[in-house]
Structure 1
Amino acid sequence: MDSLVQILDALESPARGGSPGSVPALARALGVCSTPGCRAVLGEPPEPPPAPAALPPEQWRLLRELLRPEPAAPERGAVLAPDGSTVALGPLLAGMEAGLRLGGGSEGPWAPLPTLRPPLDPLLAVTVAEVLGTSFLLARGDGDGAALGPGGCWDDVDDPQNYTLTGPPTLVPDAVANGAMDGMVLGARLAREPAPLAELLRGYYGTGNGSERGRPPSSYRRRDFGALAGPGKLEEELVAVLELLRVLPPTRGLLEGVGPGEVAAVARRAAGEFTRRYV
């Protein structure tokens, strides 16, 4: 996480050739928010840019590697946070962009978010609802099929390079769940009060030895996410997102033959199991 914060610091610093407000568009150009539902909410990504002047080549390579989408391996692009948790960057950064655009922050060319039918919560949609609903939708025909987890382990906690899952993958391994909850919590904060992303992440995760002052706010992600999205709210948004996926061409086939009652059942199960496991 320290490496990511250093990169964002440079990208947001005019003194180093960066530009405040440039990170969300850059992140999406590199692969964040690559799923149909997320793109319906945040829009199509810009073209990949050349290497930013603010970053040396090794940091630019690292950022591209971290943000490159890997649909078959959603745990890729995860980082180790100072609180000991592993956090996927995709849902984290998508939630932060949604929050900035909901709040209409002045630091950046924020386009307004579209009005979608059915209406949905953009923060929940881009962080957790789409991936969670899709995972449970795909698992519904397999009585023993897991739709959440697993966890994983790092090769070296002092110099983490490789993260390996401890079991068969799902679309929502623990790292994605952590990133989604953090994206929701930080996105909600940015919607209320825009701030530089590096500064926000540094304070939230306690990077740069900040965790020595006590437990970092990230260690309370379950409590804070639960306050924003209890099971009833999450279930409601899961139904809305699944109905959105029904009308999007890339995902229409997923819901072919799935009626409203079955969608409601999938949403109820997904919200309940996610809440029991993570919140």
Structure 2
Amino acid sequence: MDWHLHLLLSLLVVFAVEATTTKHMKDFIRAVESIEAVNPGLQMLDVVKGLRKAAGFETELIKQYLGDLSDAHDLVADPSVTSYVSEVINHSLSESGKEKGVVLTLDGSNVALTPMLLGLEAGLQSTVQGLYPLTLTHNLVASFLHHVHNEQTTVPFGTKGFWDSISSPKVYALSDLPSLATDALIIGGIDGFILGSEVSTSNHRERSLSDLLKSYYSHQPDASPRLISQKRRMNFKKLVSFSLLKSQMVQALTVRHNLNESERKSLDDVMNEGFDQFVHVYAVCPNIITRSQWGAAAFIGSPSYLSLPVPYLFIHHTYQPSTPCTTFDQCASDMRSMQHYHQQTNGWSDIGYSFVAGSDGNLYEGRGWNWVGAHTYGYNSKGYGVSFIGDYTSTLPIKSAMDMVRYDFTSCAVNGGRLSSSYSLYGHRQATSTDCPGNSFYHEIQTWEHYQSYLP
């Protein structure tokens, strides 16, 4: 081997070893890059199967759809890189609520790598019939069954979590009652379904795995390409057949013969209600970053609760911060900064807004769905206050952020029974003496559905 190439490959391995200390998608991609560098000539499918073999991940379900790993390549890699890959690919839940096999992405999502890679492998093998079971069906059915037997200590699906550090994530812990289909497993499954569908019908399979993941999980401005993680909900709705997904789940449940009649009835109820809720959360609602995910401080005192559904929606801009945040890291930092100002300077119990829209594709939970806010004097107990990070006196928020609130948030709130279907929308300035939400933005929201010029 040419000594220049040998030196380059050695440096790549060292770089990957140093980088793969945290559970971030960019670190996993760096590890994949280093493996590709010392295993030249392998196709994307070879690398995906080789990673699974290195991680020792194989089950009867996987064999049924993808075959065994007898023909998978033994990837050459530094032992520390192999160890890291195995650690971040293998998914597990501990009794203490720690979830392993999850990485944080640039868009603020938490992705379980196993279902993402399985979906990719199914697509690359053109085993499209395995996309649903390997990415979503199996995990959802297992979680619904588990919930039937453990109703008091679990939820049907979608338990979210938080990292010990956003900048250097190493430990991911669940923030609510556990489920076997956690939010990270579902997001990983959705990404696996999208990427698997894409590579099964396009020339993406000619790319390297690291290049595909790098482009999909990258941060891009508003005019970003279609195939990107920030648009996973849009792509998922476009590609998935919810009727097929549900029928496969029903079929999987019919083979369970160890349930008595009462358990079967309970399971049917959980499955039907749970599936509708799954569609609501992952196909109707925007991606909502919870308080624990952005690092919120505790509410001071005891919150008052809204009487739902509320009749009003008030639109704000933050003014300060005046610059729109375009990354999860920056938006989360802005949320913490605003909460600190509202609590420590204003003397409020918490950040005042119900929700806050970033320009990174995420909606951030403030007081949330149930707590009375401090956003619109005289109307806090009657409506939600949604603010956009930035000063919109002379400019507008990016279109994707406006669409997220105008369409996705309102549909989510109305369908979830939290906002009246006949709600009235106002700018903050209509309720008090203020320029909020900025002249340009206020003119814009006057064109939105449900806008009212008169505030009673």
1:238 matched to 2:249? The reply is: yes
1:227 matched to 2:231? The reply is: no
The 8 Å contact of residues 54 and 82 in structure 2, kept in 1 or not, is answered as no
Gaps of at least 5 residues in structure 2 are: 1-24, 284-456
TM-score w.r.t. the length of structure 1 is: 0.76
| 148-157 or 178-187, larger mean C-alpha shift | 148-157
Pair 1:83–1:255, CA change in 2 (3 A): farther
The 8 Å contact of residues 135 and 171 in structure 1, kept in 2 or not, is answered as yes
The 8 Å contact of residues 74 and 171 in structure 1, kept in 2 or not, is answered as no
Tell me which residue corresponds to 1:117: none
The 8 Å contact of residues 78 and 88 in structure 1, kept in 2 or not, is answered as yes
Deviation at 1:138, TM superposition (A): 2.3
Cα offsets for 1:120-172 (capped at 9, x unmatched): 93101100001101111222245554121321111111111111111232111
Cα offsets for 1:203-226 (capped at 9, x unmatched): 1110xxx43676672012122112
Q: 1:185 aligns with which of 179, 189, 194?
A: 194
Which has the higher Rg, Structure 1 or Structure 2?
A: 2
1:92 matched to 2:154? The reply is: no
Letter in 2 for 1:233: L
Tell me which residue corresponds to 2:217: 205
Tell me which residue corresponds to 1:2: 26
Tell me which residue corresponds to 1:124: 132
Task: Look up the SS of the partner of 1:121 in the other structure.
Answer: helix
Tell me which residue corresponds to 2:17: none
Map residues 73-84 of structure 1 onto 2, 5 A cutoff.
Answer: 75-84=99-108
Task: Look up the SS of the partner of 1:79 in the other structure.
Answer: strand
Letter in 1 for 2:137: A
Pair 1:49–1:122, CA change in 2 (3 A): closer
The 8 Å contact of residues 93 and 99 in structure 2, kept in 1 or not, is answered as no
Pair 1:48–1:188, CA change in 2 (3 A): closer
The 8 Å contact of residues 57 and 90 in structure 2, kept in 1 or not, is answered as no
Q: State the aligned residue count.
A: 246
- Higher normalized contact order (CA 8 Å, seq sep 6+, divided by chain length): 1
| 69-78 or 186-195, larger mean C-alpha shift | 69-78
Deviation at 1:267, TM superposition (A): 4.5
1:271 matched to 2:275? The reply is: yes
Q: Give the distance between the partners of 2:47 and 2:201, measured in 1 at CA.
A: 19
Cα offsets for 1:167-202 (capped at 9, x unmatched): 232111111111000000000001012232211111
Tell me which residue corresponds to 1:164: 173
Letter in 2 for 1:167: D
Letter in 1 for 2:148: R
Tell me which residue corresponds to 2:90: 68
1:174 matched to 2:174? The reply is: no
Deviation at 1:75, TM superposition (A): 3.1
Relative to total residues, which structure has the larger helix share, 1 or 2? Answer: 1
| 181-190 or 137-146, larger mean C-alpha shift | 137-146
The 8 Å contact of residues 100 and 190 in structure 1, kept in 2 or not, is answered as yes
The 8 Å contact of residues 56 and 86 in structure 2, kept in 1 or not, is answered as no
Pair 1:278–1:191, CA change in 2 (3 A): same
Pair 1:240–1:10, CA change in 2 (3 A): farther
1:140 matched to 2:148? The reply is: yes
Relative to total residues, which structure has the larger strand share, 1 or 2? Answer: 2
Q: Give the distance between the partners of 1:6 and 1:71, measured in 2 at CA.
A: 25
Pair 1:39–1:147, CA change in 2 (3 A): farther
Q: Give the distance between the partners of 1:128 and 1:273, measured in 2 at CA.
A: 15
Letter in 1 for 2:278: F
Letter in 2 for 1:86: N
Task: Look up the SS of the partner of 2:233 in the other structure.
Answer: helix
The 8 Å contact of residues 92 and 184 in structure 1, kept in 2 or not, is answered as yes
Identical aligned residues as a percent = 26
Deviation at 1:93, TM superposition (A): 0.3
Task: Look up the SS of the partner of 2:143 in the other structure.
Answer: helix
Q: Give the distance between the partners of 1:31 and 1:265, measured in 2 at CA.
A: 37
Task: Look up the SS of the partner of 2:50 in the other structure.
Answer: helix
Letter in 2 for 1:271: F
| 131-140 or 77-86, larger mean C-alpha shift | 131-140
The 8 Å contact of residues 38 and 130 in structure 1, kept in 2 or not, is answered as no
TM-score w.r.t. the length of structure 2 is: 0.48
The 8 Å contact of residues 101 and 114 in structure 2, kept in 1 or not, is answered as yes
Task: Look up the SS of the partner of 1:158 in the other structure.
Answer: coil
| 143-152 or 219-228, larger mean C-alpha shift | 143-152
The 8 Å contact of residues 89 and 112 in structure 2, kept in 1 or not, is answered as no
Tell me which residue corresponds to 1:105: none
Letter in 2 for 1:98: A
Q: Give the distance between the partners of 2:176 and 2:196, measured in 1 at CA.
A: 30
Letter in 2 for 1:176: L
Gaps of at least 5 residues in structure 1 are: 103-112, 114-119, 247-253
